Structure 1
């Protein structure tokens, strides 16, 4: 185990040692399991609102990694297609729901009653979308949302259309044009009464460009606790930075399941530790597949988006087996092939715990083997995620 990783969760390790010294092993295991269960149960509800025709439904689909033309995508059109709040679960992470809300300011939805009509309390934060300009309706809505202590973000969509139009002009400069567009929209909002507005410029068709990465970074930094992890896991794998964020989140998860494995390994029940290790490994490996978009459903959506055959993208996965091949037998074979049970890491961890409660090699070896095999698998998953991304966007 490298020094960086061994220092990443000193608090958790210290708490586990303290539990061992006090004989509170079951309590320690229960606490870690509760944290992992909470991650599974935590929901995230994102509300997309704005004027009719601004591109709300397209943004809903983009956040779900889908195009506008798939069977489960949100309906789009030049007229108002949303008459009441429509929830669209993420196709791979159903605990994340993107809500397409009715257009604000229409005859059916006046600002004064809008929040009550759409069920304000159901959402973790709001994104107000505009394709032309933000209006006084948007500013008034934002004011009401902030009074109720909810976060709100402004997104200017359909940037490609504006840039293509501007590109026909002599001496076109993309950076200067983006700056001018951003200043225009911020000024527009300030005139409507919004103080210090932040406007994110995005392209519906290429999420790696312009401000979409910055939008996600902002959402992540302002979300609290487990909801932040849920967002990172569910968002599209469209850039090297998004892959890096997912890798960091999975490293945190690996530590937690490894600590759980250690606590269970210290429980004197014959065969329990190995059984728990294998179950943990199978589930966590399959979760990694989904987080990095390497499962078949995610690959099909990506293939549809970039206009390439599914088989071509799937061929870029070279370091790990397909999701269906990650079975109990696969994990057993992996453990047999490895020398993890006798590595220096195991010995070092065991010796680290021995002064506290005598011989606890079983627990230390469970921690080390679970950690090492998952860390190795994560490295391979990251390589394949990068391979798939390169294949998807190569010209």
Structure 2
């Protein structure tokens, strides 16, 4: 019984260690005037429709009366803060600046559906004083395109260029102001991916993985970046297992591998958009049933059933883990045992990552989102 308790204890240590890799905190502040689409943007980042349970309330009236924190539904380490709009009757500019807890947030999204204002510029300057990042986002681009589409000589790129130039002109007090044009209705278009790239580049290395995991899969390039991020974590996760193998307790290595596998692959599953909610939303968008393609993934099926430990990835994995346990029990060859555990864990995670990644690629291709 003591051996089992120790194995469970060490599995818990693995979970804690992996948590450090996968649960780095990230706090995103989103602010904008009433009716600018701020709450819809918050919901988009969280993978929710505006009418889903737990979604940030939307509307043309002032719905955000105080800073409201929304956890990402599948990645609770990522928090999106819906801030009241600056300069509204309830939040005068000077009072607003004094009340903002700048240190709470990793970066700010300043969002508007029309022209950016003096209040937006004031807020940006205050953010800059505190060495924080801010990004101007012009929302509801789909509405602008729709209104212009029936005009004679319509050219979408010309409309986008005109909007961007208009926004930049309103921010002439700020040097090198960059504007990101987005639509919360169709986040696969316009500058949504460009915004993701900019945010990622501006974050320190340990925060970048958190953003990539939480960000919606808006393109093939975004999906590939997510995959590479998880590939980088495999080595660290495997080393954690190898470090614990030197503890002479039968079953410890296998228990640790199982704990690592479930936590790691579960995060891959959500980050790649393979959960029910993401696939149902995508199916509705492309008018095509896509859940059946996920069913072809043995890892996705096991994650749904919480049976990752029953996945048969080859007898070699079990053999390597068992030998590692035996070596550590006998107190000989601890380095050799650690290497075996490293290999078994790395193999399991790599197999799972590849399976889930390929499933996500297939689904996007079937949906007509990617041609290659």
Give the structure-2-normalised TM-score.
0.84
Task: Compute the RMSD of aligned alpha carbons.
Answer: 2.8
| CA distance in structure 2 between the aligned counterparts of 1:275 and 1:283, rounded to whole angstroms | 13
Aligned ranges 1:164-179 → 2 under 5 Å: 164-179=146-161
Match of 1:70 among 52, 57, 75: 52
Match of 2:275 in 1: 295
Note the C-alpha offset of 1:267.
Answer: 3.8
Q: Deviations over 1:118-162 (max 9, x none)?
A: 433221111111111001111111111111111100000010111
Match of 1:334 in 2: 313
Match of 2:139 in 1: 157
Note the C-alpha offset of 1:226.
Answer: 2.1
Secondary structure of 1:68 counterpart:
coil
Match of 2:72 in 1: 90
Aligned ranges 1:127-142 → 2 under 5 Å: 127-142=109-124
Moved more, 286-295 or 224-233: 286-295
Match of 1:61 among 43, 51, 55: 43
Match of 1:12 in 2: none
Q: Does 1:377 align with 2:352?
A: yes
Secondary structure of 2:111 counterpart:
strand
| CA distance in structure 2 between the aligned counterparts of 1:329 and 1:75, rounded to whole angstroms | 40
Match of 1:216 among 164, 174, 196: 196
| CA distance in structure 1 between the aligned counterparts of 2:170 and 2:72, rounded to whole angstroms | 33
Match of 2:291 in 1: 314
Give the structure-1-normalised TM-score.
0.80
Q: For the structure 1 residues 115 and 41, does the alpha-carbon distance in structure 2 shift closer, same or farther, using more than 3 Å as the test? A: farther
Note the C-alpha offset of 1:339.
Answer: 6.4
Match of 1:26 in 2: none
| CA distance in structure 1 between the aligned counterparts of 2:222 and 2:102, rounded to whole angstroms | 29
Q: Deviations over 1:244-274 (max 9, x none)?
A: 1110111111111111122223444443223
**Contact 2:37–2:112 (CA under 8 A) maintained in structure 1:** yes
Structure 1: gaps of 5 or more residues = 1-30, 347-356
**Contact 1:32–1:259 (CA under 8 A) maintained in structure 2:** no
Secondary structure of 1:189 counterpart:
coil
Q: For the structure 1 residues 91 and 382, does the alpha-carbon distance in structure 2 shift closer, same or farther, using more than 3 Å as the test? A: same
Secondary structure of 2:293 counterpart:
coil
Note the C-alpha offset of 1:208.
Answer: 1.3
| CA distance in structure 2 between the aligned counterparts of 1:329 and 1:32, rounded to whole angstroms | 15
Match of 1:225 in 2: 205
Q: Deviations over 1:91-113 (max 9, x none)?
A: 11122121111111112212212
**Contact 1:66–1:302 (CA under 8 A) maintained in structure 2:** no
Q: For the structure 1 residues 39 and 376, does the alpha-carbon distance in structure 2 shift closer, same or farther, using more than 3 Å as the test? A: closer
Q: How many residues align?
A: 347
| CA distance in structure 2 between the aligned counterparts of 1:245 and 1:261, rounded to whole angstroms | 25
| CA distance in structure 2 between the aligned counterparts of 1:91 and 1:297, rounded to whole angstroms | 11
| CA distance in structure 2 between the aligned counterparts of 1:116 and 1:303, rounded to whole angstroms | 45
Q: For the structure 1 residues 366 and 126, does the alpha-carbon distance in structure 2 shift closer, same or farther, using more than 3 Å as the test? A: same
Q: Does 1:389 align with 2:339?
A: no
Match of 1:275 among 255, 263, 276: 255
